[in-house]
A and B are shown apart, each in its own frame.
Chain A
Amino acid sequence: MTAQVPAPPAPPALLRLLPAGSYAGRSRALLLRSATASRRAWLAFVSGFFEPVFYLVAMGQGLGSLVGVLPGPDGAPISYAAFIAPGLLAASAMNGAVFDSTFNVFFKLKYGRLYEAMLSTPLGPVDIALGEIGWALIRGGLYALGFLSVMAGFGLLVSPWALLALPAALVVAFAFAAVGMAATSYMRSWQDFDLVTLAILPMFLFSTTFYPLSVYPRWLQLVVEFLPLFHAVELMRGLTTGAVHLGMVGHLAYFLVMIVVGVTVASRRLDVLLLR
């Protein structure tokens, strides 16, 4: 048997901006690794799907009985469940991506010495960053698909635009995963993860997930409009209720900026952390 190790391809133009030798174009091998590893931890994998569904059933039915109907994004009244479902979809995209790119990555960085092994193969830090983010995306995408199916089952998808909610969820997840990974590369100990909770939980609660922006005083509205999850919720709510308008491109732009900044910082930091 003879070796047939293919030489890694030359990096695409965009990635030449990054330090030489940090990208071999093989992030897919990391996806394969994650998929193989998660076969043993399938329960944890599957459990991620249920959390937003529990929220939808409990809050949609229970809290909905206190609210009745609410004005939707275009002013037409919608049920409380239809109001919060897109919010929960956006929040679960965020949660999944952040969890994967912070806790899991930190563990591998600090204790697993897994990346060290990968770096002695042709893989470079950029492959690792993209591979890990990619896995978070696949996972997030599957959860989003599951949740959208549940929404459809409850009759909460009323517009064909809802089909676009899946790719939108992927964009949102990508953005949060990239920024989460960049943040993780600065963390020194487990205690710093309180800060992650401190960022995620208020966003989940206050980004108009459970009630419209109009309950806030004006100054607080401005703060909320600044949060990334707010843009995700707006995007999803517009798509699932069919209230689509041009301003939604602005929300997308917000996430594209997050993606570019996150990936760049994460790759550079991994370079510093891993190649010593």
Chain B
Amino acid sequence: MLLVVEHFWTWYRRNWRATAVSSVLQPLLFLLAFGVGFGSLVAGTGSAAAATGGVDYIVWLAPALLAVSTVQSAAFESTYPVLSGFKWQRTYFAMTAGPISPAQVALGHLLWVACKMAGAGAIYIGVIAVFGGVAGPGIVVSLLVAVLTGAAVAAMVTAFSATVENEGAAFNALFRFVVIPMTLFSGTFFPVDRLPGWVQPVALISPLWHGTELARSAALGAVSQPLAALGHLAYLSALLVLGVALATRLFARRLAQ
């Protein structure tokens, strides 16, 4: 399995720019636009303080952005690259021709995505700190939570990608109808209760909402409801297990062809 990770690392060393843009620069730009720009617009207003529980908007936003960017790059890394492994470059077939099993390929892919998310997240935390978005050491726990959330999403998306046969038109729909709404409606930029009532249930099934809630309370050092935190954790873990089970099974089926 580590062999699989190594393969990806070799590839990555030649193509780091794309991921640098998507996994570090992109959240940084969002942080500047919303944390700093929008934050200065609402600084000192009562309605903003009421929403964030009194902390600065940027401090409130930063851990959520960490979770969002992790989930986004997890989703992306598990679409076209996976399809390419099956279809265009067919690297997965080459791997399983040797001593590596399909399940190991799937797990290796997920492990690789997780490593990358952890690395990008760590860099990103350093950047947030520069802009004054870090409240305390709890942010390290936020990173772990973000990676867990990302891994759960990556596992589900990887399983989905293993079933895609065409040129990836389905991914377009996945991003537009699942990933983007998820980033907008999971309480990243504002608390979910500010949304119209009919949208709120969407947040409950969104893994990103659970991840955001956890990451944020860890970063702010305020786990006010331990039971709720356990619930979030359980949901994410269950999703991860389900995703891994599906992904390994679907990899085995497709690579047997």
B13 located at the interface, meaning its Cβ lies under 8 Å from any Cβ of chain A in the complex: no
Q: Which of B149-207 contact A (CB under 8 A)?
A: 169, 172-173, 176-177, 180-181, 184-185, 189-191, 194-196, 199
Provide the bound-state CA to CA distance between A194 and B25, in Å. 11
Q: Mark A41-75, 1 if CB is under 8 A from B, else 0.
A: 10110011011001101110111011110000000
B101 located at the interface, meaning its Cβ lies under 8 Å from any Cβ of chain A in the complex: no
Provide the bound-state CA to CA distance between A201 and B28, in Å. 11
Provide the bound-state CA to CA distance between A22 and B180, in Å. 41
Q: Mark B15-45, 1 if CB is under 8 A from A, else 0.
A: 1011001100110011011100110111001
Among the listed stretches A5-13, A122-130, A157-165, A202-210, which one makes contact with chain B, having 4 or more residues with CB under 8 Å of it?
Answer: A202-210
Question: Are B184 and A191 touching (Cβ within 8 A)?
Answer: no
Taking a contact as CB atoms closer than 8 A, the residue among B33, B45, B180, B189 that contacts A205 in the complex is: B33
Q: Which of A131-170 contact B (CB under 8 A)?
A: none
Provide the bound-state CA to CA distance between A239 and B196, in Å. 28
A211 located at the interface, meaning its Cβ lies under 8 Å from any Cβ of chain B in the complex: yes
B-side contacts of A43, CB under 8 Å: 169, 172-173
B47 located at the interface, meaning its Cβ lies under 8 Å from any Cβ of chain A in the complex: yes
Provide the bound-state CA to CA distance between A215 and B15, in Å. 37
Provide the bound-state CA to CA distance between A59 and B33, in Å. 13
Question: Are A44 and B184 touching (Cβ within 8 A)?
Answer: no
Question: Are B26 and A44 touching (Cβ within 8 A)?
Answer: no
- Chain B interface size, under 10 / 10 to 19 / 20 to 34 / 35 or more: 35 or more
A174 vs chain B, min Cβ distance (A): 24
Taking a contact as CB atoms closer than 8 A, the residue among B15, B18, B38, B185 that contacts A210 in the complex is: B38
| B43 (CB) vs chain A CBs: closest residue | A215
Interface of B is mostly: helix
Provide the bound-state CA to CA distance between A206 and B28, in Å. 13
B-side contacts of A194, CB under 8 Å: 17-18, 21-22
Question: Are A50 and B177 touching (Cβ within 8 A)?
Answer: yes
B-side contacts of A202, CB under 8 Å: 29
B127 located at the interface, meaning its Cβ lies under 8 Å from any Cβ of chain A in the complex: no
Provide the bound-state CA to CA distance between A73 and B18, in Å. 38
B51 located at the interface, meaning its Cβ lies under 8 Å from any Cβ of chain A in the complex: yes
Q: Assuming the A-B contacts A191-B17, A194-B21, are A66 and B45 also in contact, with contact meaning beta carbons closer than 8 angstroms in the complex?
A: yes
Question: Are A197 and B172 touching (Cβ within 8 A)?
Answer: no
Question: Are B185 and A67 touching (Cβ within 8 A)?
Answer: no
Question: Are B176 and A67 touching (Cβ within 8 A)?
Answer: no
Question: Are A201 and B26 touching (Cβ within 8 A)?
Answer: yes
Taking a contact as CB atoms closer than 8 A, the residue among B30, B45, B180, B189 that contacts A62 in the complex is: B189
| A205 (CB) vs chain B CBs: closest residue | B33
Give how many A residues have a beta carbon under 8 Å from the other chain's beta carbons.
32
Provide the bound-state CA to CA distance between A50 and B184, in Å. 13
Provide the bound-state CA to CA distance between A66 and B37, in Å. 14
| B26 (CB) vs chain A CBs: closest residue | A201
B48 located at the interface, meaning its Cβ lies under 8 Å from any Cβ of chain A in the complex: yes
Question: Are A58 and B184 touching (Cβ within 8 A)?
Answer: yes
B-side contacts of A198, CB under 8 Å: 21, 25
Question: Are B37 and A210 touching (Cβ within 8 A)?
Answer: yes
Question: Are B29 and A201 touching (Cβ within 8 A)?
Answer: yes
Provide the bound-state CA to CA distance between A236 and B185, in Å. 26
Question: Are B169 and A210 touching (Cβ within 8 A)?
Answer: no
B141 vs chain A, min Cβ distance (A): 26
B-side contacts of A216, CB under 8 Å: 37
B-side contacts of A211, CB under 8 Å: 37-38, 41
**Could you show 23 A-B contacts with beta carbons less than 8 Å apart?**
A43-B173, A44-B173, A47-B177, A50-B176, A50-B177, A54-B181, A54-B184, A58-B189, A58-B195, A61-B196, A62-B194, A63-B189, A65-B190, A65-B194, A67-B41, A68-B45, A68-B47, A191-B18, A202-B29, A206-B33, A210-B34, A210-B38, A212-B41
